[in-house]
Structure 1
Amino acid sequence: MAGLDRYESCGVTLLGDLSRPCGVTFAFTERTGGVSKGQFSSLNLGDACGDDPADVAENRRRLLCAVGAGGLLDRLVNPRQVHGDRIVSVTSASDEAVERSRLEAREGADAVVCTVADVPVLLCFADCVPVVVAQPGGFAVAHSGWRGTIARIAAKATLELSRVTGSDPAASVAYIGPHIAGEDYEVSEELLTRFVDEFGEKVALPGRRLDLACAIGLALADVGVDPQNVVDSRVSTPRSTDRFYSYRAEGGSCGRHGAIALMRGDGSDTGAVTTNVFWEGDHL
C-alpha cells in the first residue's frame, strides 16, 4: 500500500488517504489552522485540556468543513477517552440512535465503530496512538495508549467492525497516525517486560524503548489483518511539535490533535475539498 497523503483543506493541514479506502474519508489533523491560543495553538480539538470551549468548538467546525462534513457537528461522536478497551458501535443513522451513541461515548470509551453515513467520529491525541480501520461497510477509530495497546483495543475494534459489517478482517485497511515513536518512548523495565510477554521481543528497542506501533501491528495481524494493509505514518510527535501536540515533550500542558473518520450518504459531498496537496502516497 502507498502511504498517507499530506494536504491542506479549508486552511487545515491533514494526513489521510485521498483514495478514500472502502468509501471512508478519514484524516489525522496537524496543529495548525485553528483559533486556539498559547500552549493550545492552534487547532486544538480536545475539550478536556483547559482550552476555551468556544475555541475548541470553532476548531471542530473547521475540521468538519475540511473533511467535507460541514453541518454535521450535532452528529459528531467524540468519546471521553479513558485508556481502556470499551467500544461504542454506531449502527443506526436515526437522530435518536446517534444521540444515544454520542451520550454512550461520553460516558467513556476508547474506540468507536461506525457503519452508517453522515456520522463523523473524532478521537483526540497528544502522543498516544491513533488508529483508523476501514472495511467495506464501515470504519473504526481507536485511541491506543500503552494501556489500550496491551489490551489490544485496535484489534478488538477491528473484530467488532467485522461483526457488524459482515466483512472479513482480511478486507481491512488500517492506518496508524502520528504518535510517540519507539525510539522516543522510554518506559520502565516492568512495563517493557509486560509488552514483551504479550507481543514478543519485536516491541522492545534498546534503552528500554517501547514500540507501540509494532505491538498494534502484531495485534491486528493476530485477528487477520494483512500486515501489508497496515500503514504507519512514522511521525514521532515529540520530535514534531511544530506539527503535532506532544504531552511528553510539552510538559503535559498542550492541546490535542485528532483522528476523524466518516462515510457520506448517497448524493452527498464525498470528502474534503482539497486545496493544496503537499505530497502523496509514501513520501511522508
Structure 2
Amino acid sequence: MAARADNVSRVDHDGVTLVEGATSDVRFAFTERAGGVSEDAYSSLNLGSHVGDDPFAVQENRRRALEAMGAAECEHNLLVPNQVHGDHIVAVTSNGADDLEDVREQIAEGCDAIVCTAHNVPVLLCFADCVPVVLVAPGGFAVVHSGWKGTIARISAKACQALCDAAGCDASDISAYIGPHILGDEYEVSQELMDRFAAEFSCIDASTSRMLNLSAAICEALVDVGVDADNIVDTQLSTVRQNDRFYSYRNEGGTCGRHAAIGVML
C-alpha cells in the first residue's frame, strides 16, 4: 500500500512556514523563506551554505527548520549534500556515527539525491528554481534535486528504484511530492534543449514553444518506472510568481538564498 500523506498543507511554526506532509513513517517539508535570521538578499530562512551568506546564520536557520518539523533532537545527524546537477544517488541505511561519517564523505563529493531508510537522519537539499522531489515509501524516503540536467537524466525515477530496493517495496508503493520550482510557463530555454527533452519525453512538444515543463517530465519518468499517477502530488508552487515565499535564482539575478526540501523518519 502506498505511503501517502493525507494532504500537504502550509503551516506556520512560530514564524517558520513549511509546506509539509507526513505519513506514519516519514515527515517531509518544503521550506519557505520566512522565519530565519539571514539578511539582505538571503532574507531570511536561507538554508544554503554555498551562496555567500553568514555560515552562522545558515546554521541557525537549519536548526529552526528542523525544530519546526519536530526533528530538533537529531540535528547532529543532518545530511546536506554537495549538489552538482548530476544523477548520483547515495543511500543511507544506518544512523550510526561511523556510517554517517562515511555518507558525509560520499555526499561531499557530489550527489543530487539521498535515499534514507534510517531513523533520526534528516536529509536537506537546497533549491532556488530547480525542482525538489520527495519520494515516500513504507519504511523510507528520498529527497531529490532535479534541475534540467537531473530531469533529462531521470534522476527522480532512478531514486525511486533505489528507494524501492532499500525499503523492499514496489514502485506502486511510492508517493511523490513535487515542491516549489520554476513552472512550465515561466521557464524559457533554447530550442536545442527543447528538442533534447522532446526526444526523451512524450509530454514535451518542442514544436509549439520553448517553455520547458520540468515537472511534467518528472511525472512521466516516475510513471514509466511504475509509480501510480494518482500518487504524484505536484504542489504547483512557483518560485518566480511567489518570489516573496520562495527564492528564485532567475528572478533575483543570481544572488539569493535557498529554500529546501527536507525529509526525516522519526
Q: Distance in 1 between matches of 2:205 and 2:216?
A: 6
Match among 15, 20, 39 for residue 16 of structure 1: 20
Amino acid at match of 2:188: E
Are 2:86 and 2:149, in contact at CA under 8 Å, matched by a contact in 1?
yes
Shift of 1:200: 1.5
From 132, 135, 151, the equivalent of 2:134 is: 132
CA distance in 1, matches of 2:118, 2:106: 17
- In the alignment, is the contact (CA less than 8 A) between 1:79 and 1:105 conserved in 2? yes
State the alpha-carbon separation in 2 of the partners of residues 11 and 104 from structure 1.
34
Gaps of 5+ in 1: 265-284
Equivalent residue letter for 2:18: L
Deviations 1:213-237 (A, max 9, x none): 0000000001100010000010111
The letter of the residue matching 1:173 is S
Cα distance, 1:153 vs structure 2: 0.5
Amino acid in the other structure paired with 1:40: Y
Note the 1:53-72 alignment, pairs <5 A.
53-72=55-74
Aligned-residue sequence identity (percent) comes to 56
Name the SS for the 1:58 alignment partner: helix
Spell out the pairing of 1:163-242 with structure 2 (5 A cutoff). 163-202=165-204, 206-242=208-244
TM-score (norm 2): 0.95
Query: Which residue matches 2:154?
Result: 152
Q: Describe the superposition over 1:147-205 as per-residue Cα deviations: whole angstroms up to 9, x where unpaired.
A: 00000111100100001111001000000000000000000000001001000244659
Q: Does the 8 A contact of 1:75 with 1:99 survive in 2?
A: no
Report how far residue 95 of structure 1 moved: 1.2
Which residue of 1 is the match for residue 9 of structure 2? 5
Q: Give SS of 1:56's match.
A: helix
Say which SS state the counterpart of residue 217 (structure 1) adopts.
Answer: helix
Give the structure, 1 or 2, with the largest relative contact order (CA under 8 Å, sep 6 or more).
Answer: 1
> For the Cα contact (< 8 Å) 1:3–1:233, is it kept in 2?
no
Distance in 2 separating the partners of 1:67 and 1:103: 26
SS of 1:123's equivalent? strand
What is the aligned-residue RMSD (CA, Å)? Answer: 1.3
Inter-partner Cα distance in structure 1 for 2:205 and 2:230 = 18
- Post-superposition CA distance 1:244-269 (Å, at most 9, x none): 000000000000000000011xxxxx
Mapped to 2, the partners of 1:6 and 1:137 lie a distance apart of 24
